[in-house]
Structure 1
Amino acid sequence: MDLKYIFFSGKNPKLPYYISNYTKVFLPKLFFQIRLKAKLKALSSGEDSEYIRSRVNYYNKLSQKRTCSFSSAFKDLKKSEKVKSVYFLDAYNVISWFRRDYKWNFLPGDITYIPEIPSIVKSRPIHGNNENSVILKLVKVRHFIFVKDKLKFNEKDNKLIFRGKIENKPHRIDFLEKYFGNPMCDLGNVGRWNKKTPEAWQVEKNTIHYHFKFKFILALEGNDVASNLKWIMFSNSIAVMPEPKYETWFMEGKLIPGYHYIKIKDDYSDLEERLKYYIEHEEEALKIIKNANQYVSQFLDEEREQLISLAVMDKYLRMTSQKD
């Protein structure tokens, strides 16, 4: 199973990602910067310019110009030991289009709080005044996975599957304590085992295609968001989860319960009731799948995704009084 998982997990292969993105690092920055003005022109002239602006303003909610004291410039990104390679590469793909002396506050990692000054983040809380949390599309290779599902909904098992790491995640432990061994569920911990959790919970990792055998896939938030939510909503299965508390570039805060996913209570007490309902009401389940697939489709245009990223950063620089 280990070899099968390594070669057929369904996750994005990292080697092509690293080769492609490190190649861009060595290209002259002028190659990008002279094209920026033409790129951003599409914000006002393209057919979907209104849609693009709406997404830019969702990720970057800064509404008034302000002057900020930033401790680092774009040119300092390579020197930072705190930045892991995937954060570096995805951030660099955006800032390389701008002057090296522009400044920012860059917070790599799973950010679940709202910073005191305007900051570039991968994730932020959905609720509250999150204006200072400006989202970029970061860690794309891990989070934005889209795998073709060849099974129809009615060909799948009437069960819920979950495979995830549960260490240091009390809400996931709570779910397994309630439902491990339940005949409607296939659950397991693929993280490290420790004496705080039953050894019976330990299972091997399963491929994304294995998950597609089930009508329902649990999307429980981890340190911030549920990283599997994107590929679940691209499939012919349905995401089952409480209402999300955090969001990323996927705009989890825009998801509608009962329309894009099956919502369960925060204490998970209505899980069986919700699963049985959609097993018995297949037409409603199929509508959710259609809506979820349509929602995901907006993230598949790579050229437009890049333009939105550049526009988010351009607005960040303008709203922090660095750019006219």
Structure 2
Amino acid sequence: MTIWVTRILFLLLCGLGGYGLTVLQPTIFSSPYIGVAVGLLFALFLILIDKLLRGFSLRAFSAITFGLLLGFVVSQLIDRSGLFETFEEGSTTRWLIRVGLFLAFGYIGMILAMRSNKEDFALIIPYVRFTPLNKPENYIVMDTSAIMDGRILDLTEAKLIEGIVIVPKFVLRELQHLADSPDPIQRNRARRGLEILNQLKQCASIEVKFHEGDFPEEREVDMKLIRLSRNLGAKLFTIDYNLAKIAEFHSVKCVNLNEIINKLRPPIVPGDILTVKLVKEGKEHHQGVGHLPDGNLVVVNNARHMIGKEVEVEVINVVKTAAGYVVFGELKKSTPE
């Protein structure tokens, strides 16, 4: 919303600028309406460029500027080296050579700068690093699964998580889309996620900020999250095992909430009694399946007839998986049928 307000104000200012230019310099445009139209067209042209550059970060812009400067210096050194003295100074050929050198080395400089990291810049310019002077203590980017999971709120209220929580607008859009889903489970989880976001904003240990950035060239939300986290130097919070592994591959620090909770939780062992609501049939015809509050599965043998009810389950086995664990159990003997 803030960006669109800025664009509208910019359109109005450019229109007024065109009108003012016509009044001050009547020889430029024959009519004030033409001046206003030119101003508006100029503004629309710049807004179009702005739309095309969506997801283009300030870091990339700085890298391109540095690369162009480096390319210009190299092209000037080659031009003044004496290699092209056979061509007359001021001639069209000499001018074309200079333009060609600048374009070639400017392009190479831009590409190399965009592919480089801050350590590479420190090697080129000793004692210089492209890092913020007042870098926040901790940036945290959360994906949809971490927000909907709900345990992030418990960890924050316990002051185990501190810093600035970044919620990208594309994650918020995904949450809103899921909140309107025809699937009741997805809809309820997404709405719960939106409520959790509002509660996180009230926590004193963190600051929640919404990020306007997007990466339209990336089709997958996972890759957008990874690129945003890498650009901000942030930790990525998720419960998606695959996303966590992809983030590690791209050298992005990733925190899998399932791993944290599993390490903090007292272990479930055979003989424990759990209370769980059975919501669907298991792989075997006689099984009923429910979920623990943390989202892990509970598979209950001989409980198909209890689907839709809350039952007490005696644990007989716990199997760890990549995403957490699965509890296998039997109906407690005293559970009414």
Same fold? TM cut 0.5? no
Instruction: Kindly indicate whether structure 1 or structure 2 has the higher relative contact order, using CA contacts under 8 Å at least 6 residues apart.
Output: 1
The TM-score, its normalising length taken from structure 2, stands at: 0.23
Structure whose alpha-carbon radius of gyration is higher: 2
The TM-score, its normalising length taken from structure 1, stands at: 0.23
